[in-house]
Amino acid sequence: MSVLVAGGTGGCGQLVVQRLVKQGRSVRVLTRNPQRASQLGSVEVYQGTVLSQEDCHRAVESCRAIVCTVGATVDDVGGQLVDGDGIINLARAAVDAKVERFILVSSLGVGDSWGWMPYPVQWFFQFHGEVPILQEKARSETYVRSAGIAWTILRPGFLTNSSMRAEPLLLPPSGRVPGITSRQAVADVVVRCLESDRAVRQTFTVVDNWLRKAIWRGEPVRLNVPWHA
Residue 49, Cα to own-chain centre: how many angstroms? 16
d(CA 155, CA 153): 7
Torsion of CA 75, 76, 78, 83, to 10 degrees: -140
Residue 178, Cα to own-chain centre: how many angstroms? 17
72, amino acid identity: A
| Spans in the chain with pLDDT lower than 70 | 1, 73-75, 77-78, 114-120, 122-125, 127-129, 174-178, 211-218, 229
d(CA 60, CA 95): 10
d(CA 135, CA 145): 16
The CA R_g of the chain, rounded to the nearest whole Å, is 16
Hey, CA dihedral for 196, 222, 208, 201, is it positive or negative? Answer: positive
Q: Quick one: pLDDT at residue 215?
A: 61
Quick: pLDDT tens for 64-94: 999 999 987 655 766 788 999 999 999 999 9
d(CA 193, CA 182): 17
Q: Quick one: pLDDT at residue 19?
A: 94
d(CA 173, CA 177): 10
d(CA 87, CA 97): 15
Write the Ramachandran bin of 128: left for phi over 0, alpha for psi from -120 to 50, otherwise beta: alpha
d(CA 28, CA 202): 24
Q: What is the pTM of this model?
A: 0.92
Length of the chain: 229
Contact yes or no for 156/175 (Cβ under 8 A): no
